[in-house]
Amino acid sequence: MAIKYARRMDGLKGSEIRELLKLTENPEVISFAGGLPAPELFPVEEMEKISVLVLEEQGRQALQYSTTEGYNPLRAHIADRMNSKSKTNVTKDDILITNGSQQGLDFAGKVFLDEGDVVLCESPSYLGAINAFKAYGPKFIEVPTDSNGMIMEELEKTLQTTERVKMIYVIPDFQNPTGRTWPIERRKAFMEIINKYEIPVIEDNPYGELRFEGESLPSLKSMDKKGLVVFLGSFSKIFCPGYRLGWTCASEEILSKFIFVKQGADLQASTISQREVSKFMDLYDLDKHVENIKEVYRKRRDLMLKTIAEEFPEGLEYTHPEGGLFTWVQLPKHLDSKVIMQKCLENNVAYVPGGSFFPNGGKENCFRLNYSTMPEEKIVEGIKRLGSVLKSFMEE
Ligand code: PMP
């Protein structure tokens, strides 16, 4: 039997990486592959109390359908938080609550992309966004990056020479996968270019609050005078991912399109999740919670970078992120991180091979390491194992 699927399914093959990563589920493996927050930091006791409280105080409403835009007190909390952390000037009416920020990525594809349209993104970029957009059949153009993120001259050159650019996808804060952050000059230059070409921008920002050092930088959204920037935020890394709560902040015009597609997708985000998280923000200090998270991740980052310096062979480059969850390692050109990963798995250590972060492929000599999930002793042991595998390949 030959079932005929939609054309959009053609490009959506299960990746070989996913198969590799399945092997990292073995508890013997020290995995730096995932992008998971540290579960020991989840506010379990607090949420236990809150779940009872919400059901006692507002059970009938909490278990009912609710509006597509989201629970107003939560939208207001988010607007306040964005204004203080991301330097925006928004109100609850500018916010749509989504099922994680991942849903915002899918909606961006649905709202902006026809088959054959062009998406510009950083090279490399977040795999989950690439996959979400792929379903809408675009062409990706990767804009070259350096240690300060997307290179503006390259962006402008691409915009001058490319037709059908419908959307630019960027992660200016502690990027996934590289951990890099765009400095202020680059943000300003970017907004100048965007205002000139008037192309919608998806500013994906799940990590911006997780800054361990240096000054926090204004979001692109805060510099957006023409209503071109769609900001995607998330509770996954500053709170926990299990509630699946994220948000989209955009101009009235763009947000109305997102609200429309949200209605078609799932009507609304979970009423009870929204009310519980909002209650947490009423009763507890989310800033303090984020400070605790940062403290733990900063130590883990420091330990990972120190152990890398001691254990990796000479001549490898890696990023020194000022926040977020990841560092990115660059290998000599002739090495393939997928091949090395097989050997790593034999030694019970894992990372994500870098190739899949490049939508057009062709770059295999790099990989991503996560430092938020593994406890300190495993970071040291895992990096030692990885170091000795890398040495064996470098000496060949
Ligand atoms: N954007 C980026 C850059 C991410 O790294 C992730 C998840 N790790 C997401 C979006 C999606 O996160 P969530 O749906 O949990 O908010």
Helix (H/G/I), strand (E/B), else coil: 189:
helix
Q: How many CB atoms lie within 10 A of CB 214?
A: 10
- Asked whether residue 365 carries a pLDDT value surpassing 70, the answer given is yes
Give the amino acid at 285.
D
Q: What residues are paired with 141 via a beta bridge?
A: 120
Mutate to test the pocket of ligand 1, among 42, 98, 99, 101 (most ligand atoms within 8 A of CB): 101
C-alpha dihedral, 51 to 53 to 57 to 60, nearest 10°: 20
Judged on CB neighbours under 10 Å (0-12, 13-18, 19+), 388 is middle
Nearest-atom index, ligand 1, CA of 101:
16
Across all residues in the chain, what is the average pLDDT? Answer: 95
According to the model, what pLDDT value does residue 289 have?
98
Distance (angstroms) between ligand 1 centre and the Cα of 171 equals: 10
Pick the range with the lowest mean pLDDT from 4-13, 147-156, 196-205. Answer: 4-13
> What is the C-alpha to C-alpha distance for residues 394 and 396, in angstroms, rounded to an integer?
6
Mutate to test the pocket of ligand 1, among 102, 207, 210 (most ligand atoms within 8 A of CB): 102
Distance (angstroms) between ligand 1 centre and the Cα of 258 equals: 18
- Interval 99-142: pLDDT, tens: 999 999 999 999 999 999 999 999 999 999 999 999 999 999 99
Nearest-atom index, ligand 1, CA of 236:
15
Average pLDDT of the residues in 342-349? 95
Q: How far is CA 253 from the centre of its chain?
A: 25
Distance (angstroms) between ligand 1 centre and the Cα of 1 equals: 37
Output the residue whose Cα is nearest ligand 1's atom 5: 176
Distance (angstroms) between ligand 1 centre and the Cα of 360 equals: 21
CB under 6 Å to ligand 1: residues? 35, 100-102, 126, 128, 171, 176, 204, 206, 234, 236, 241, 246
Which pTM does this prediction carry? 0.96
Largest CA distance in the chain: 67
More confident residue, 293 or 86: 293
More confident residue, 303 or 6: 303
pLDDT tier at 309, thresholds 50, 70, 90? very high
According to the model, what pLDDT value does residue 294 have?
98
Average pLDDT of the residues in 355-377? 94
Nearest-atom index, ligand 1, CA of 246:
16
- Asked whether residue 231 carries a pLDDT value surpassing 80, the answer given is yes
Pick the range with the lowest mean pLDDT from 16-20, 33-37, 40-44, 314-318. Answer: 16-20
* Contact call for residues 110 and 136 (beta carbons, < 8 A): yes
Q: How far is CA 384 from the centre of its chain?
A: 27
- Asked whether residue 366 carries a pLDDT value surpassing 90, the answer given is yes
According to the model, what pLDDT value does residue 362 have?
84
According to the model, what pLDDT value does residue 23 have?
78
- Asked whether residue 15 carries a pLDDT value surpassing 80, the answer given is no
Strand order in the sheet with 229-234: 95-99, 245-249, 229-234, 201-204, 165-170, 118-122, 139-143
Residues comprising the chain, all counted? 396
**Could you tell me how many helices (H) and strands (E) the chain has, helices first?**
12, 15
- Asked whether residue 20 carries a pLDDT value surpassing 80, the answer given is no
Domains in the chain (CATH in brackets) are 7-43+288-395 (3.90.1150.10), 64-283 (3.40.640.10)
Distance (angstroms) between ligand 1 centre and the Cα of 233 equals: 9
According to the model, what pLDDT value does residue 194 have?
97
Q: How many CB atoms lie within 10 A of CB 140?
A: 17
According to the model, what pLDDT value does residue 12 have?
74
According to the model, what pLDDT value does residue 16 have?
65
User: Which residues make Cβ contacts (< 8 Å) with residue 237, sequence separation at least 6?
Assistant: 37, 206, 207, 209, 210, 293, 325
- Asked whether residue 19 carries a pLDDT value surpassing 90, the answer given is no
More confident residue, 215 or 16: 215
> What is the C-alpha to C-alpha distance for residues 153 and 326, in angstroms, rounded to an integer?
26
Judged on CB neighbours under 10 Å (0-12, 13-18, 19+), 98 is buried
